[in-house]
Structure 1
Amino acid sequence: MERFDVAIVGGGPAGSSAAHAAASRGASAVVLEKGVPRADRPDRLGPDSTDAAGILDYWVDIMGIHPDEMPDDVLLSHLDRAEFVGPTESIVLRKTGIESSYDEFGYCFHRARFDDWMRDRAEEAGATYRVKASVRDVETDPDGDGPRHVVRLASGEDIAADFVVLADGPQRTVTNKVLDRFVPFDITDRLATTKVNHIAYQEHRRLPEEVYDEVSSAIKFWWGYMPGHTAYPWIFPNDGTVARIGLTMPIGLDIDEIEDREKYALLRDDDERIPQGREYIRRLLEQEYGDEYDIEGDFPLVEDRGKTKGTETYAISSTRPIDSPAKVGIAVVGGAMGATSAFHEGGDHVAVRTGAIAGELAAEGDLTPYNARWKDAIGEEVLRNVSFADVVRDYGPDDWDWAFSTAKKLQVESGPELFKTSKIGAGFNAARLVTTYKKTKFKYRNGKYVQLKESEYTV
C-alpha cells in the first residue's frame, strides 16, 4: 500500500492549494481527482472547473494569490464595477468598500485554465496529482497500529495517509460518507445536497459588439426577476466579445408555492413548473435585447468553451460552513465545507485559502488548529455572506426595488467608504435596512455561522 503524509480528495482550487502548501513545506502529498472531460480542456482531464470565475479586489487578499502570478491566458478581463438591477430600481457599485492591496475593482478569469495552473503549481512544489482516481471511501483508525487513514479507490487501490483533506466540492460525495461516522446523527439530515445547495447554469455566448461594450468591464446581476432564495441571472464578461450568461437557482422549487408570481419578469402565466436554466437565459436575453437583435442568431453559443457545447451546470453551496474533525487528522475545505456562497456566486478565493491552511497544518504534523485558523482567515467574509443571504431570504421583486432604492440613498461616491448610514435623506428605510443587517450579523457573531461545530463530532 502506497503511503503519503497527506491524501487530498478532489483536485479543484481547494485541493490543489492544499497540495501546494503541503508539498512546499516538505510533506508528501497526493491529489486524487476523478477527472472529467471538458470542451475547454480538450487535452487534459481535470476537475469539473465550473463556476462564474470572477474575483473582487479584496478577494485577492483572501485567496493569497495575485493575478500577476498567473499565466497570461488565465485572466480574461478587468472589472471596474458591479451592476445590480431590480424590476424598476438599480444600483452601480464601483468599489467594494473593503480595504484591498489590489488596485482594480476585480477581474474575470478562465476557470479551467486556472485549475490547470493550480495543478501545475502543486506538482512543481513536489505534490503528486492523479487523475482517474475516484475515491470510494476513507477509513480512519486513529488509535490503531496501522496507518491513521486508508483511502480506498474505485480501482481497488488503497492509499495510506497521516492526514486527509476533503476537497470534493459542495455535493460532498465523499465528505458526507466520511463525516457520517463521526456524528451521532444522520449527516445527510444536516448536509443533504438537495437542502443546502443551489444549481447554477451558464452559457458562453458571443455578443454583438455594441452589447459587449456595455458590459465589458462590469459584472451584472438581475435580482427579483426569478423566484427563490438567492436566485438571480447574471452576465460576466470574458475576452473578445464573449461573455458568460448564467443564473443561480434553488433545487426543488415548487412553482405552485410562489406568491405574486406575476411580478417575476422571467416567469410566464402558462409556466407549469420552474423553467430550466436555458429557458431562463433565453427569456432574459429576449427581455434585454430582443427588440434590437435576433437572440439565437446574434448571441450564438461558443461551443468550444465551457464544459460541453458552450454550456455548463454545477452545484454551489448555499449553506453555512462546517467545522472539521481535525482531531483525527481530517480537514474539510472549500465547497465541501460550505465556504462558498450562492449569494455572491462561487468562492474560489475561500477555497484556495482554506485548502492552503489545511495543507500547511498537515505538513506541520498537526491539523487541530484548522477550525480556528480558517475562521481567522475567512470568518468576516463568511459572516457577511451568511448575514446577507439571511436578510434577503424572503425577498420578492418589490423588496429588491426597495433595497436598491434605499442603498442608492446611502451610497458614497468618493473615498473608500461604500455606504454612509447617517446620510441625510435616507430616512427610515435606511435605518431599517442597516438595523436588519447588523442584527443578523450579531446573531452569527463569534463563529455562530458554523452549522456543524467541532464539538459535535464524537472523536
Structure 2
Amino acid sequence: MERVDVAIVGGGPAGASAAEQSAAHGAETVLFEQGVPREDREGVGPDSTDAAGMLDYWIDLMEFDYREIPDDVIHRELEGTEFIGPNSAVELTSTGMDASYPKFGYTFHRARMDDWLHERATDAGADLRVGVGVKDLETDLRASSPKGPTHTLTLSNGDVIEAQYVVLADGPQRRITLDALDQFTAPGRSVSDHLSPPEANHIAYQEYREFPEELFAEFEDRLKFWWGYMPGETAYPWVFPNDGTVARVGLTMPIGMTLEDVEDPGSYKLLRPDDDRIPSGAEYINRLLEQEYGDEYDIEEDIPRVEDRGKSKGTETYPISSTRPIDSPVGANIAVAGGAMGTTSAFHEGGYHVAVRTGKIAGRLAGTDSLENYNEIWKDAIGDEILRNVAFADIVADYGPDDWDWAFSTVNDMQGNGTDDGLIARKYTAGFDAAKIAATYKRTKFTYRDGGYVQLAEDDYFY
C-alpha cells in the first residue's frame, strides 16, 4: 500500500494551497482531484467556476503579493461597485479596509487562477493527481503511529493509499467530508445537520454574455448587484465585467423556495403576476436584461450568450453553501478547509480568499506535524472576515424591496455627510437611520463574539 504524509481531497483553491504549503515544509504530499471539463480549458481540472471578483484586502488575506499574480489571470481592474435597489442605488468606491492593492479590486479568470495555484503546488514538490477522485476515507483512531491516527483512502481507480494527515477540501458539495467527519459525531447525529448538504443552501447560475461596446463601457470597471429584485435570503442578480466586452450575468438564490414562501410577490420586479413557480436562473437573467436594457437592445441578438466559456456552452451552475463554519476534528489528524468547512457565503458570492488562506494554514500545519493548532489559527486569520459575513447576512436575512431602498438611501445619506464611502468601514454620521444600522451590526457581531459563529466546535467531536 502506498503511504504518504499528507493526503488532500479536492483540488480547488483550498486544496491546492494546502498542497503547496505541505510540500514546501517537507512533507510527502499528494492531492486528489476528480476533475471536471470546461469549455475554455483543455482537459479536466478542478471544479472551477468563475468567481465574482477579488476585493483589495482579500489579496492580503490570502497572503499574496498582488504583483506575483499572473497578468492573464486578471480580467478587469475595478474602481468600485454599484448596489441597485428597486427605487434607489448606492455606489461604493472603497472597501474601507487597509490593503496593498491600489484599486478597489479586480475580476479574474477562475480556471487560470486555479491552474496557477496548481503550478505553485507542483513546484513545491506536491504530487497532484487530477482525474483521480476519492471514493471513501476511513480513520484508524487506534493506529500505532507515534503521530496518532492514520487514514485509508480508497480512490476512484481502485487504489488504496494510507496517509498520516488528511486535508478535506472538496468544496461546498462535500462529497467525502460529510461521511469522513461523521465517524466522530454522536450516534444519530451527522455533520450534515450543521452544513445541510447534499443540497447546498443556495444555488448560483451565470451566463457569459457579449455586450455592445457602448453598453459594456457603463460597467467595465465595476461590479453591479440588484438587491430586492427577487425573493429569498441573500438572493440577487449581478453583472461582472470580464475580458473584451464579455460579462458574466448571474444570480444566487435559495434552493427549494416556492412562491408560497414569498410574502408580497408583486413587490419584486423579477416576478410576474402569471408566475406559478419561482423562475429558473435562466429566466431570471432574461428578465433582468430585458428590464435593464430591453428598451434599447434586442437581448438575444445584441447581448448573446458566449458558448465557448464556462462549464457548459456559456453557462455555469454551482452550489454556494452559505452556512456558518465548523471546526475540524484535529484530534483525528483531519483538517477541513475552504468551502467544505462552510466558509463560503452567498452574501458576498463565494469565498475564494478564505479558501486559499485556510488551505495554506491546514497544509502548513499538516506538513509540520502541528495540525492540533488548526482551529485556533484559522480563527485568528479569518475570524474577522467570517464575523462580518455572518453579521451582514443575518441583518439582511428578512429584507424585502422596501428595506433595501431604505438601506441604500441611508448609505447615500452617510456619504453625503462625509468622505467615507467604504464598503465595510464607515463613519455613522447620517442621523437615526445610520445609528440604527450601526447598532444592529454591532449587536449582531457581539452575538457571535469569541468564535461564536462556529456551529460545530472541536469539543463536539468524539474520538
Q: How high is the TM-score relative to the length of structure 1?
A: 0.97
Partner of 2:347: 343
Q: Distance in 2 between matches of 1:407 and 1:434?
A: 11
Instruction: Give matches, 1:195-214, under 5 Å.
Output: 197-214=201-218
Partner of 1:255: 259
1:231 aligns with 2:235: yes
Q: Distance in 2 between matches of 1:335 and 1:145?
A: 32
SS in 2 for 1:369: helix
Asked if the contact 2:259–2:278 (Cα under 8 Å) also holds between the matched residues in 1, the reply is yes
Asked if the contact 1:421–1:430 (Cα under 8 Å) also holds between the matched residues in 2, the reply is no
- CA shift, 1:152, in A, is 1.0
SS in 2 for 1:215: coil
- CA shift, 1:187, in A, is 2.4
Instruction: Give matches, 1:171-210, under 5 Å.
Output: 171-184=173-186, 185-193=189-197, 197-210=201-214
Instruction: Give matches, 1:10-29, under 5 Å.
Output: 10-29=10-29
Q: Deviations over 1:280-301 (max 9, x none)?
A: 0000000000000000001111
Q: Distance in 1 between matches of 2:221 and 2:111?
A: 21
Instruction: Give matches, 1:96-245, under 5 Å.
Output: 96-145=95-144, 148-184=150-186, 185-193=189-197, 197-245=201-249
Partner of 1:33: 33
Q: 1:365 aligns with which of 357, 369, 374?
A: 369
- CA shift, 1:420, in A, is 4.8
Structure 1 unaligned residues grouped into runs of 5+: none
SS in 1 for 2:91: strand
Give structure 1 regions of 4+ aligned residues with deviation exceeding 4 angstroms.
415-422
Q: Distance in 2 between matches of 1:195 and 1:118?
A: 28
SS in 2 for 1:368: helix
Partner of 1:414: 419
Asked if the contact 2:66–2:101 (Cα under 8 Å) also holds between the matched residues in 1, the reply is no
Q: Distance in 2 between matches of 1:93 and 1:382?
A: 21
- CA shift, 1:196, in A, is 5.0
Asked if the contact 2:76–2:243 (Cα under 8 Å) also holds between the matched residues in 1, the reply is yes
Partner of 1:77: 76
- CA shift, 1:70, in A, is 2.3
SS in 2 for 1:312: strand
SS in 2 for 1:402: helix
Q: Deviations over 1:255-294 (max 9, x none)?
A: 1120111010001111111111011000000000000000
Asked if the contact 2:14–2:359 (Cα under 8 Å) also holds between the matched residues in 1, the reply is yes
The 1:91–1:305 alpha-carbon spacing in structure 2 relative to 1, beyond 3 Å, is: same
- CA shift, 1:56, in A, is 0.3
Q: Distance in 2 between matches of 1:363 and 1:403?
A: 46
SS in 1 for 2:384: helix
Q: 1:74 is matched by which residue type in structure 2?
A: V
- CA shift, 1:120, in A, is 1.2
SS in 1 for 2:162: strand
Q: 1:446 aligns with which of 443, 450, 458?
A: 450
Q: 2:439 is matched by which residue type in structure 1?
A: T
Identity in percent: 61
SS in 2 for 1:249: strand
Asked if the contact 2:178–2:192 (Cα under 8 Å) also holds between the matched residues in 1, the reply is yes
- CA shift, 1:51, in A, is 4.0
> C-alpha root-mean-square deviation of aligned residues, in Å?
1.4
The 1:420–1:310 alpha-carbon spacing in structure 2 relative to 1, beyond 3 Å, is: closer
Q: How high is the TM-score relative to the length of structure 2?
A: 0.96
The 1:71–1:44 alpha-carbon spacing in structure 2 relative to 1, beyond 3 Å, is: farther
- CA shift, 1:154, in A, is 2.3
Partner of 2:64: 65
Q: Distance in 2 between matches of 1:64 and 1:287?
A: 41
Q: Distance in 2 between matches of 1:413 and 1:250?
A: 36
- CA shift, 1:4, in A, is 1.1
SS in 1 for 2:128: strand
Q: 1:71 is matched by which residue type in structure 2?
A: P
